[in-house]
Amino acid sequence: MSVPTLLLNDGNSVPWIGFGTGTALYSKDAAEAVSVAIQNGFIHLDGAQVYNNEETLGVGVVQSGKPRSELFVTTKLTKLKPGATPKSALQESLKKLGLDQADLYLIHTPNNHKGQLKEVWKGMEECKKDGLTKSIGVSNFAVEHLEEILEVATIPPSVNQIELHPYVWKALQPVFEIHKQHGIVTSSYAGLSPLFRGKGGPLDPVIESIRQRLQTTRGQPVTDSQVLNKWLKQNGILVITTTSKAERAREYVDTVNVPDLTAEEIALIEKTGSQLHQRYFPGNWPPE
């Protein structure tokens, strides 16, 4: 089954869903989880220098038997060591990953580069120009950080990966606006948090009602996770998610086969989500 893609503002494409190697896999051997994810339909692997498992992500890619040309690999720049540059940091990552080139390279968080964001962004552009990565972008950037790098950017970020689910949807509207202006794809992590970390919230009955409708329409099981992932997908959002279970990996990838939510259902999720403002990873986001 081919995985749908999103077009980036630099002309490249990215698979709409990616397997994240942070959270539960942070500083752990990710090889088995990555291999299982690939064998069950994921072709986009989302890593980071700070996850401290790039070597095992690379091992998982090899173990899966999938050709490199059929995979999309992301990594992210952490705080620079003295004398290091985004380019030297990416070269180190590629060596660990066992790759010649990344597909996407993101600045992981603006808080690691206070006062140096413009300089760091120029270093990111150098990585793209030198062919070390196909695309460049950012993560956890608020409006002010995007504005700061856009002042000097000759290549705008192609992606901004942020905590995104219905309970922050309303608060993120200014970020979405600047994304729209510059053709930046919004990428979501922690998109399923209302289900796993926020049980008992106002969304629960809404998700359940939509799930039942979709299941009846489809004539086979639909899960709560598929409802939320479908909502993200229909909003044009790049989804990063993770699991240790093969069946859950298949379920996430299978979201494309779930019937579409109606415009009314999408609006209801967003309206209900706006009743509660809740971040589950506040440390990654600049103070509000």
Q: Give per-10-residue mean pLDDT for the chain (288 aa).
A: 90 98 86 94 96 95 94 97 96 97 97 95 98 98 97 98 97 97 98 93 97 98 98 98 94 97 98 95 73
Task: With respect to residue 212, please indicate whether it lies within any of the assigned structural domains.
Answer: no
User: DSSP class of residue 188?
Assistant: E
Query: How high is the pLDDT of residue 81?
Result: 92
Task: With respect to residue 53, please indicate whether it lies within any of the assigned structural domains.
Answer: yes
Task: With respect to residue 49, please indicate whether it lies within any of the assigned structural domains.
Answer: yes
Q: Which residues are annotated as a binding site?
A: 108
Query: How high is the pLDDT of residue 23?
Result: 79
Q: Where are the alpha helices (DSSP H) in 65-223?
A: 86-97, 117-129, 143-150, 173-182, 193-196, 204-218
Rounded CA-CA distance 272/82 in Å is 46
Say if residues 123 and 138 touch (Cβ distance below 8 Å): no
Tokens (6 digits) for 242: 């993770």
Query: How high is the pLDDT of residue 287?
Result: 60
Query: How high is the pLDDT of residue 282?
Result: 84
Task: With respect to residue 283, please indicate whether it lies within any of the assigned structural domains.
Answer: no
Residue with tokens 């990710």: 30
Query: How high is the pLDDT of residue 267?
Result: 98
Query: How high is the pLDDT of residue 285?
Result: 74
How many Cα neighbours within 13 Å face the side chain of 272?
Answer: 17
Question: What domain count does the chain have?
Answer: 1
Residue 54: enclosing H or E segment and its boundaries?
A: helix 54-64
Q: Which residues are annotated as a binding site for substrate?
A: 108
CATH number of the domain enclosing 29: 3.20.20.100
Task: With respect to residue 94, please indicate whether it lies within any of the assigned structural domains.
Answer: yes
Strand partners, 242: none
Task: With respect to residue 178, please indicate whether it lies within any of the assigned structural domains.
Answer: yes
pTM: 0.96
Query: How high is the pLDDT of residue 210?
Result: 98
Q: Which domain covers residue 56, as residue numbers?
A: 5-196+231-256
Planar angle of CA 277, 280, 281, nearest 5 degrees: 120
Residue 19 backbone dihedrals phi, psi, to 5 degrees: -95, 115
Rounded CA-CA distance 74/215 in Å is 33
Task: With respect to residue 159, please indicate whether it lies within any of the assigned structural domains.
Answer: yes
Planar angle of CA 24, 29, 32, nearest 5 degrees: 90
Query: How high is the pLDDT of residue 1?
Result: 56
CA 143 to chain centre: 18
Residues annotated as catalytic (active site), given as ranges: 51
Query: How high is the pLDDT of residue 188?
Result: 98
Task: With respect to residue 261, please indicate whether it lies within any of the assigned structural domains.
Answer: no
Closest listed residue to residue 242, CA positions, set 3, 15, 25? 25
